[in-house]
C-alpha cells in the first residue's frame, strides 16, 4: 500500500469540496444554521459531527472522541492518541478542548480550535498515524496548511497554525524556573521555564542534555502560583492540628517520582510530547494525566498517549 502523506490526504479532502455530495450539502446547511443562530455557546459535539461529513470524508467518527477538558491549560486544544493496550497500536484519538482557555472567549475561537484539532486528527487517521511534527517541528506542515486554507476559504473560518492565546496560557502557567547559566541572556527564552504544573526542568525533558552541554546552568525556582482558596483552607486546618509545616513542605517540594515512573517517562519521551506551536519557553513533555480532567477505565492506556495540539 502506498504511503499516504499529509499532503495527499489534504488534497483528497479538498477534492470533495468542488462538488458537494447531498450529505455534505446537508451538513453545510446544518452548520450555517448553527453559526447563524446568534447563541454565545456552541455544541462542539454536534458541530464536529457536521464537520466530519463536510470536510473530513466521514473518517473522524467514531474514532475521535471530542470532549471539554477543565484541566487542559497549556493550549486551547489538543489531540491525544491512545494505543490499544493489547496490540500497542494507536487506535483512538481524544480531541480535548480547554475549558479554562476557551470559556470566556468568542465562540469563533472554539470553532477554529475545533477545526484545527480536527485537521490533526484527520491526518493521524489518513496517514496511518504518520502525521508528525514535520520539518518545522510543529505538526503544521504543507499538508496542514493546504487543508486549513481550503477550509478557511470554504467557510470563512480563521484556522491558523498557531494556538494563539498567549495571555491565558501564561496566566495558567505559573511555576517558573530561571537558569543561572549563559542562556539567561539569550532570546527567546532568557533561561526561563514556565509550567502549569510543579515539575522542575530535569532529565526527563527532551532538551535537557542539549541544555547541559550548551549552557550548563542550573535552574532555580523563582515563582509559584498563589495558593488557591481550597489550599489555604486546607492549610489552616492543618495549622490547627499543629502540622502546618509538614503540609507546606509537602506542597512546595517537587513531587518525587518512583523509579518506574522515571523509566516510563524516559522511554517514552521521544513520542509522548505534546506540540505547542506557540511555546515561548522550552517545554518538555507534560504528562498526559496532568492535563486531563477526565477519567476513564482506559486511563492506563491514556497515560502513555501521544498528543499533538
Residues within the interface to Zn ion (CB under 5 A): 179, 181, 183, 191, 215, 217
Least Å distance, CB 110 to Zn ion, is 15
The answer to whether the CB of 264 falls within 8 A of the CB of 301 is no
User: How near is the Cβ of 85 to Zn ion at its closest, in Å?
Assistant: 27
CA 180 to chain centre: 29
* SS3 state at 97: strand
Shortest spacing between CB 291 and Zn ion, in angstroms = 15
Of 27 and 273, nearer to Zn ion (C-beta) is 273
Cβ nearer to Zn ion, comparing 24 with 284: 284
Q: Which is nearer to Zn ion, 28 or 77 (CB)?
A: 77
- Examine residue 169 and say whether the peptide bond preceding it is cis (omega within 30 degrees of 0): no
- Give whichever of 191 and 284 is closer to Zn ion, judged by the CB atom: 191
Query: Look-up: residue for cell 478557511?
Result: 152
Is 117 a known active-site residue? Answer: yes
Bridge partners, 308 (sequence order): 79
> 71 near 102, Cβ under 8 Å?
no
Min CB(163)–Zn ion separation in Å: 6
**Closest Cα to residue 276, out of 178, 165, 167?**
165
Give the shortest CB-139-to-Zn ion separation in angstroms: 5
Environment class of residue 178 by beta-carbon count within 10 Å: exposed (0-12), middle (13-18) or buried (19+)? middle
Catalytic residue among 65, 80, 117, 286: 117
- DSSP class of residue 203 equals T
Distances in whole angstroms, Cα of residue 17 to Cα of each of 11, 119, 146: 10, 15, 13
So which residues are the catalytic ones?
Answer: 117
Amino acid at each position: 500500500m502506498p504511503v499516504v502523506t499529509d499532503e495527499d490526504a489534504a488534497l483528497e479532502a479538498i477534492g470533495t469540496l468542488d462538488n458537494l455530495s447531498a450529505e455534505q450539502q446537508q451538513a453545510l446547511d446544518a452548520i450555517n444554521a448553527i453559526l447563524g443562530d446568534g447563541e454565545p455557546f456552541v455544541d462542539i459535539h454536534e458541530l464536529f459531527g457536521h464537520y466530519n461529513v463536510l470536510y473530513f470524508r466521514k473518517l473522524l467518527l467514531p474514532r475521535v472522541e471530542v470532549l471539554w477538558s477543565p484541566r487542559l491549560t497549556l493550549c486551547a486544544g489538543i489531540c491525544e492518541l491512545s494505543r490499544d493496550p493489547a496490540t500497542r497500536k494507536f487506535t483512538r484519538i481524544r480531541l480535548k478542548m480547554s475549558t479554562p482557555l476557551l470559556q470566556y472567549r468568542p465562540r469563533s475561537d472554539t470553532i477554529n480550535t475545533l477545526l484545527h484539532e480536527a485537521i490533526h486528527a484527520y491526518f493521524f487517521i489518513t496517514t496511518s498515524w504518520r502525521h508528525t511534527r514535520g520539518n518545522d517541528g510543529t505538526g503544521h506542515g504543507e499538508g496542514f496548511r493546504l487543508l486549513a486554507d481550503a477550509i478557511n476559504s470554504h467557510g470563512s473560518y480563521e484556522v491558523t497554525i498557531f494556538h494563539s492565546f498567549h495571555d491565558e496560557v501564561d496566566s495558567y502557567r505559573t511555576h517558573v524556573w530561571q537558569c543561572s547559566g549563559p542562556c539567561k541572556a539569550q532570546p527567546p527564552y532568557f533561561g526561563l521555564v514556565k509550567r502549569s504544573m510543579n515539575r522542575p526542568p530535569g532529565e526527563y525533558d527532551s532538551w535537557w542534555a542539549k541544555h547541559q552541554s550548551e549552557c550548563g546552568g542550573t535552574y532555580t525556582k523563582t515563582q509559584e502560583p498563589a495558593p488557591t482558596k481550597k489550599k489555604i483552607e486546607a492549610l489552616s486546618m492543618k495549622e490547627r492540628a499543629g502540622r502546618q509545616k509538614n503540609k507546606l513542605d509537602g506542597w512546595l517540594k517537587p513531587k518525587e517520582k518512583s523509579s518506574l515512573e522515571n523509566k516510563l517517562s524516559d522511554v517514552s519521551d521521544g513520542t509522548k510530547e505534546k506540540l505547542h506551536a506557540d511555546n515561548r519557553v522550552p517545554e518538555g513533555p507534560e504528562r498526559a494525566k496532568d492535563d486531563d480532567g477526565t477519567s476513564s477505565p482506559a486511563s492506563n492506556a491514556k497515560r502513555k498517549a501521544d498528543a499533538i495540539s
